[in-house]
Each structure stands twice: as structure tokens, then as C-alpha cells.
Amino acid sequence: MEFTLAAPGFDQPGVYRITVTGHLDVAWSEILHDMAIVNGGEPDAEYTTVTGRLPDQAALMGVLNALYDRHIVVLTVENLTVT
């Protein structure tokens, strides 16, 4: 059985889910292109999931750079867009 994932183009919108260590305040949503922020985990393993639609991969890089600039460890980046 063959499986092919059709991904959006470089300049196409997409829905992304990014998981980072620690808890982010919901005020971060403004910095992260209005993506939804959900905190989870236990005190010794806290994480945050940031999910939302971005206009293109340049916007995705902007979100990742904002996290990097604030020394937030990115655990995963997932493209949830399936066409």
C-alpha cells in the first residue's frame, strides 16, 4: 500500500501544532499570530501546545523565531493541513 501526503506549497496557508516545554501565558497568542494556546502536563513535565492557521511558512518561521528568541524549547512542529 502506498501512502502520499499532499502538503501545501511553501507560500500556501496551513494549520500547525507546535509543542514547547513549560507553560505559556495566553497573552503569548498575540505574539504568535493569534494561535490558540493550551497548557498541559504535570508539574515536573509541563508543556504547551500552540495551534493555529498561518498564512504561509514565512509566518511559521516568525512564530518559531519568536519562541527561539525567548529561549523556549520547541519539542515538535506538526503540519495538520491535509489536502
Q: How far apart are CA 19 and CA 10, in angstroms?
A: 21
60 in Cβ contact with 54 (< 8 Å): yes
Residues of the chain below pLDDT 70: 1-8, 82-83
Place of cell 501526503: 5
pTM of the entire predicted model: 0.84
Residue 39 one-letter amino acid: N
Q: How far apart are CA 62 and CA 13, in angstroms?
A: 14
Residue 62 one-letter amino acid: G
Q: What pLDDT shows up at residue 45?
A: 82
Q: What pLDDT shows up at residue 3?
A: 47
When computed from its CA atoms, the radius of gyration of the chain, rounded to whole angstroms, is 14
